[in-house]
């Protein structure tokens, strides 16, 4: 057993973008950090996200209008949402919790918290990326949401006052204005929304790997091990049990995405986390150019220019994390993209699937286990993992230091 209760030792369980951001931030603040993951860094959902550092996602997933559309979304062949029948029973608890956020006061609380994290997100990520020498992977040219249907656009615009109230700069644009910003888009787009302070990461996986390289260069350790249990040690600190051995740290942060639920299940009455699998299709030779991420409002998917080409992403499939992937979900994105981007070249297209950790209220779970002040967690970021990674790291570091976090994040589990 590797054992030390030196007060600066921290074990970080999870080597995705959230875990690596936390590890680098803790190391920068003087902690001796060990990252533990069953895989190499950046092999799970962090590697394949859309690269969109969005300021739009401040609302709970279970909006009243979305619930009304749910049957239509689930039945659509090219719909953005699928629940595999075998996984439906496991969604019951998630669904019950999601319904509690439909009430106006609960929605307002979630929106306020997500907005406060979001408005700090880009600057915090830029600072962390600059610290490790990866700032060139970030850009801030805004983000578009484009619509072909005026009714759908008008409905989306009902949220403008909420975004503005929380300090998010977003404006309605005409179809002609969108054409000026992105000439590659279809000419039958009637209008959209422009989030002027949204940003982009041109290679999320490389960003995380640069975090990992900097972390190791500065004395950090990354251990490949399958962690099975985390618990408080009798004489202080936290014990981490893995297939390769037992380790003792002064503090531990669990940020293993979807698998955090299993590691923490003995410490909470219920953790309603779901496996929300996302797909993308990478087009290395798309034959067209976008300057910024574009979300297509009706089919709910995004196209983002990347170092490796054009990435189409945005579907949600609730299914067991270990179920075989249905790569038709990725190929579907190409059919949808042709309605908005034409001509488009699919030569060399590469599909991908990853498991998002989805909590029903849309808030990431960031906090400390009750009664165990040295056992911390940060998981459940769903579609916002990359965007909120650095501000989450700041919040976690503040927890360990016993100081006020930059954002008031109330525990959601």
Return the residue matching tokens 């669990």.
254
Q: At what angle do helices 17-28 and 385-401 cross, to 10 degrees?
A: 40
Q: Locate tokens 């970021």: which residue?
A: 381
Determine the Cα–Cα distance for residues 24 and 397; give it in Å rounded to an integer. 10
pLDDT of residue 412: 61
Give per-residue pLDDT as tens, 167-209.
999 999 999 999 999 999 999 999 999 999 999 999 999 999 9
C-alpha distances in Å from residue 288, one per residue of 183, 215, 283: 10, 37, 10
Q: Is the pLDDT of residue 234 over 50?
A: yes
Question: Biggest alpha carbon distance in the chain?
Answer: 67
Read off the pLDDT of each residue in 344-363 and give the average, rounded to a whole number: 95
Q: Name the band, by pLDDT with cuts 50, 70 and 90, for residue 411.
A: low
Mean pLDDT of 322-346: 94
| Distance of alpha carbon 11 from alpha carbon 3, whole angstroms | 12
For the chain, the helix, strand and coil percentages under 3-state DSSP, each to the nearest 5 = 35, 25, 35
**What average pLDDT score do residues 364-390 get?**
96
CB 376 within 8 A of CB 367: yes
Cβ contact 216:222 at 8 Å: yes
Beta strands in 135-226 (DSSP E): 138-139, 143-147, 170-174, 191-195, 199-201, 221-224
User: In this structure, which CATH number among 3.40.50.200, 3.50.50.60, 3.40.50.300, 3.30.70.890 belongs to the domain 2-401?
Assistant: 3.50.50.60
List, for residues 27-42, the tens digit of each pLDDT value: 999 999 999 999 999 9
Token pair listed for 191: 């209008």
Q: Where are the domains of the chain?
A: 2-401
Could you give the CA distance from residue 320 to residue 383 in angstroms, rounded to a whole number? 18
DSSP notation for 82-142: EE-GGGGGGHHHHHHHHHTTSSHHHHHHHHHHHHHHHHHHHHHHHHHHHHHT-GGGEE---
For residue 43, count CB atoms less than 10 angstroms from its CB and return exposed for 0-12, middle for 13-18, buried for 19 or more: middle
Q: Is 56 helix (H, G, I), strand (E, B) or coil?
A: coil
Residue 2, pLDDT score: 47
What is the residue-averaged pLDDT of the chain?
A: 92
Mean pLDDT of 54-58: 96
pLDDT > 90? residue 63:
no
Give the DSSP per-residue string, 215-227.
HHHTT-EEEE--E
Residue 314: its pLDDT value, please?
86
Q: What is the pLDDT of residue 96?
A: 85
| β-strand pairing of 365-368 with 375-379 | antiparallel
356: left (phi over 0), alpha (psi -120 to 50) or beta: beta
pLDDT (0 to 100) of residue 407: 86
- Give the pLDDT mean for 94-106: 86
d(CA 117, CA 409) in angstroms, rounded, equals 8
Task: Quote the pLDDT of residue 406.
Answer: 86
Residue 110 half-sphere exposure, CB side, CA atoms within 13 Å? 25
SS3 (DSSP) at 346: coil
How many whole angstroms separate alpha carbon 74 and alpha carbon 77?
A: 8
Nearest partner of 211 among 52, 35, 55, 394, judged by Cα: 35
Query: Sign of the CA dihedral 364, 272, 315, 66?
Result: negative
Is the pLDDT score of 401 beyond 60?
yes
Residue 72 has pLDDT above 70, yes or no: no
């Amino acid at each position: 057993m590797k054992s030390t209760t030196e007060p600066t030792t921290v074990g970080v369980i999870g080597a995705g973008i959230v875990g690596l951001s936390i590890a680098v931030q803790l190391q920068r603040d003087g902690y001796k950090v060990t990252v533990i993951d069953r895989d190499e860094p950046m092999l799970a959902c962090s590697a394949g996200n859309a690269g969109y550092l969005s300021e739009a996602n401040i609302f709970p997933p279970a909006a009243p209008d979305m619930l009304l559309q749910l049957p239509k979304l689930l039945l659509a062949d090219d719909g953005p949402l699928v629940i595999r029948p075998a996984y439906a029973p496991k969604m019951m608890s998630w669904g019950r919790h999601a319904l509690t956020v439909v009430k106006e006061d609960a929605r307002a609380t979630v929106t306020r918290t997500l907005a406060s994290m979001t408005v700090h997100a880009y600057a915090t990520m830029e600072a962390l990326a600059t610290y490790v020498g990866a700032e060139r992977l970030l850009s801030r040219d805004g983000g578009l949401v484009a619509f072909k249907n005026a009714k759908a656009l008008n409905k989306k615009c009902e949220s403008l006052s909420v975004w503005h109230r929380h300090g998010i700069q977003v404006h309605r644009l005409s179809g002609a204005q969108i054409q000026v910003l992105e000439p590659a888009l279809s000419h039958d787009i009637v209008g959209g929304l422009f989030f002027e302070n949204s940003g982009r990461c041109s290679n999320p996986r490389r960003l995380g790997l640069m975090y990992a390289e900097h972390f190791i260069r500065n004395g950090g350790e990354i251990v490949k091990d399958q962690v099975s249990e985390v618990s408080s040690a009798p004489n202080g600190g936290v014990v981490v049990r893995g297939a390769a051995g037992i380790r003792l740290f002064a503090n531990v942060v669990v940020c293993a995405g979807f698998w955090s639920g299993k590691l923490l299940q003995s410490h909470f009455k219920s953790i309603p986390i779901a496996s929300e699998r996302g797909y993308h299709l990478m087009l290395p030779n798309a034959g067209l150019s976008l300057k910024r991420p574009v979300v297509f409002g009706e089919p709910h998917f995004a196209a983002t220019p990347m170092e490796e080409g054009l990435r189409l992403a945005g579907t949600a499939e609730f299914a067991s994390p270990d179920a075989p992937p249905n790569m038709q979900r990725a190929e579907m994105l190409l059919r949808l993209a042709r309605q908005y981007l034409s001509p488009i070249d699919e030569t060399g297209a590469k599909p991908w699937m990853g498991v998002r950790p989805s909590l029903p209220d849309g808030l990431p779970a960031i906090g400390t286990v009750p009664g165990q002040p040295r056992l911390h967690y940060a998981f459940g970021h769903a579609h916002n993992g990359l965007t909120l990674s650095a501000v989450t790291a700041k919040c976690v570091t503040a927890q360990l230091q016993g100081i006020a976090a930059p954002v008031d994040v109330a525990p959601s589990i």
